[in-house]
Amino acid sequence: MLPARLVPVPALADNYIWLLADDEGAAIVVDPGEAAPVERVLRRDGLALQAILLTHHHGDHIGGAAELAAASGAPVYAPRDPRIGLDARRVGDGECVVLEAPALDLDVLEVPGHTATHIAFFGNGVLFSGDTLFSVGCGRLFEGTPAQMLASLDRLAALPGDTLLCCGHEYTVANCAFAIGQEPGNAALAERAAQAANQRAAGQATVPVTLDVERATNPFLRIDAPELAMALGQGERVARFAELRRRKDDFRMPAR
């Protein structure tokens, strides 16, 4: 069952803190890089924080967790990584986060690549992907190998197509600009780029978005698509993925 309310709370430069709440006002947040924007929404809407979920140790995803936990008493769920120096329930692959309110049953998936201990949460029709899968992109490989990241993305891409992708950053417009250069014949991608540009111009988030749309538009999920495979040199899958990620690392948005 989809949650009653699922909203990205903008934070820091381009982070999203995901807030999910039921009709009774029980809420969770994912990756609170800072506390203030979450506290504002909780106060404004009369929500009670019931859990704090963390996908990886980077400061822009955990910076507000201690303050929110202290203020609310909500438990923190985090990957097994000593760099997250918080009192937390540690979770890994095959484990679940089960909550009564809001009623949630989220599977934990270990998805190394961006960091070695990055996890994602999937359930109730929603995927919290942190910095592993972005809309029309993926995270940088700070700690993992291309093979690890590709396996992680393959896993996320295999989830049901109507799953709502909730990622950690608003990067979609720049990601589309890069992706179109790699796969100019992709009509769904052109459509997504136009939609994302309109959403941003209207001050809206470009996410959540379904995994169906991601599979049709995200080049990092499409390295087997003929046009892209050709452009990437037709080597082994991992080599094609590594080449695509390398190109993205070098990509700069053209000046407007």
Interaction of residue 131 with Fe ion, rule CB under 5 A: yes
Q: Are 124 and 106 in contact (CB under 8 A)?
A: yes
For 43, what's the count of Cα atoms within 13 Å in the CB-facing half-sphere? 8
Q: Which two tokens stand for residue 234?
A: 């037709």
Handedness of CA 180, 183, 185, 189 (dihedral sign): negative
Phi-psi region of 99 (alpha: psi -120 to 50; beta: other; left: phi over 0): beta
* Minimum distance from residue 55 beta carbon to Fe ion (Å): 9
Stretch that binds Fe ion, among 37-45, 163-171, 179-187, 206-214 (CB under 5 A): 163-171
**Is 131 among the catalytic positions?**
yes
Taking the least distance from each CB to Fe ion, the nearer of 81 and 243 is: 81
Residues 6+ away with beta carbon under 8 Å from 22: 3, 4, 5, 101, 102, 103
Q: Which does 192 bind (CB under 5 to 8 A by kind): Zn ion, Fe ion, none?
A: none
* Minimum distance from residue 168 beta carbon to Fe ion (Å): 5
Which of 56, 33, 26, 10 minimizes the C-alpha distance to 200? Answer: 10
C-alpha–C-alpha distance, residues 65 and 74, integer Å = 10
**Please, which of residues 54-113 interact with Fe ion by CB under 5 A?**
60
Interaction of residue 31 with Fe ion, rule CB under 5 A: no
**Is 81 among the catalytic positions?**
no
Taking the least distance from each CB to Zn ion, the nearer of 56 and 222 is: 56
Taking the least distance from each CB to Fe ion, the nearer of 144 and 168 is: 168
Which of 150, 85, 137 minimizes the C-alpha distance to 111? Answer: 150
Site string for Fe ion, 183-222 (x = CB under 5 A): ----------------------------------------
**Is 154 among the catalytic positions?**
no
Taking the least distance from each CB to Zn ion, the nearer of 114 and 222 is: 114
Contact positions vs Zn ion (CB under 5 A): 58, 131
- Active-site positions? 56, 58, 60-61, 114, 131, 169
